[in-house]
Amino acid sequence: MCSLDQEQVGIKTPEYVSLQFKLAGLGSRAAAFLIDSLILGAVNLLLFAIGFIVITGEVSLFENSNFGPVFLGIVMILIFAIHWGYFIAFEYFSGGRTIGKRIIGIRVIQDNGHSLTLLSSFIRNLLRIVDSLPASYLIGILTIFLHPKHKRVGDVVAGTIVVHERKANGKKRLSPVEKEINRRGLTKHDLEIGDWALNSLDAKDWKLVKTYGNRLSALSPHERAAFTKQTADILFGKLGVDIGGKEQPELENALLVLYLHMKDEWEYEL
């Protein structure tokens, strides 16, 4: 069982970047799961209502008398696919956060501090079948309660942990990079980057773009140009973004906006 001083865990990534996280316990995870379950329940009710209307003949789509059972089977398959696909899709495409996790302020990451992979999400959610045994997620509840890192069976096998996101402090002073972004009036909408592309960046890239943004205003014009070109070549090369022909101010803006995109993914460390 976790003692109070075990609620935080330190991780050294393969890129030798040290990160600190606050583990999400049984209460916050249960609250997030309850929200997700209510959402899925509402979707299930909607699908059953549609199925009931069709089968009872309120909406006549087909005259074939065998359509009712076939349609009911389709609805059941669809409900099953939505139930499992919901967790996998949201966790992978939304930075380890389902709607419930986002509301509660927690997310799933890999044990090494990296973003959740599609395979890890698939494994941890497939093993919900085991965690839900014998009823009411008893095995999952017990393993979360007893495991030193609050892992359920799916987390143990997939190599994942659930952590709290750092909440922004309204009185916190703006960092140099945030001041520069505000001064230029930049937003995330100034550079569209897909989730698939962002998933190719890691903790080392986050540290690089953060260092770049915080040092930018203090550099001499010559140092600024060289640092901007070097950083852009590394990061946009990984993203597959063509920066040929872009002027230095455009590259600077693009890197600062990339910081905004990556901040959502990586600034949950404590």
Q: What is the dihedral of CA 241, 244, 247, 252, to 10 degrees?
A: 30
Q: What is the pTM of this model?
A: 0.64
Please report, rounded to a whole number, the percentage of residues in the chain having pLDDT higher than 90.
Answer: 40
Q: Which residues of 19-32 are buried (b: 16+ CB within 10 A; e: fewer)?
A: bebbbbbeebbbbb
Position with higher pLDDT, 13 vs 247: 247
pLDDT value at 4 more than 50: no
Binned at pLDDT 50, 70 and 90, residue 75 comes out as: confident
pLDDT value at 76 more than 90: no
From the list 10, 269, 252, 250, the residue with the least C-alpha distance to 149 is: 10
Position with higher pLDDT, 83 vs 61: 83
User: Is the CB of residue 21 less than 8 Å from the CB of residue 270?
Assistant: yes
pLDDT given at position 270: 44
- Long-range pairs for 217-223: beta carbons < 8 A, 24 or more residues apart: 217/176, 217/179, 217/180, 218/176
User: If you ran DSSP here, which 8-state letter would residue 31 be given?
Assistant: H
| 247-261 pLDDT, tens digit each | 889 999 999 999 998
pLDDT given at position 87: 94
Distances 254 to 17, 31, 156 between C-alpha atoms, Å: 24, 38, 38
From the list 241, 26, 243, the residue with the least C-alpha distance to 142 is: 26
Q: What is the dihedral of CA 21, 138, 157, 116, to 10 degrees?
A: -50
pLDDT given at position 166: 67
User: Is the CB of residue 140 less than 8 Å from the CB of residue 148?
Assistant: no
User: Is the CB of residue 125 less than 8 Å from the CB of residue 101?
Assistant: no
Binned at pLDDT 50, 70 and 90, residue 262 comes out as: confident
The mean pLDDT value for 96-116 works out to 90
Query: Which region holds residue 136: left if phi is over 0, alpha if psi is between -120 and 50, else beta?
Result: left
| 159-183 pLDDT, tens digit each | 999 998 866 555 567 888 889 999 9
**Lowest pLDDT segment from 96-110, 163-177, 221-235:** 163-177
From the list 97, 56, 68, 63, the residue with the least C-alpha distance to 265 is: 97
User: Is the CB of residue 29 less than 8 Å from the CB of residue 144?
Assistant: yes
**Torsion 181-198-83-81 (CA) sign:** positive
pLDDT given at position 152: 95
pLDDT given at position 208: 92
**Lowest pLDDT segment from 106-110, 135-139, 197-201, 263-267:** 263-267
Please report, rounded to a whole number, the percentage of residues in the chain having pLDDT higher than 70.
Answer: 84
pLDDT given at position 169: 52
How far apart, in whole angstroms, are the C-alpha atoms of residue 203 and residue 115? 9
Binned at pLDDT 50, 70 and 90, residue 116 comes out as: confident
Binned at pLDDT 50, 70 and 90, residue 5 comes out as: very low
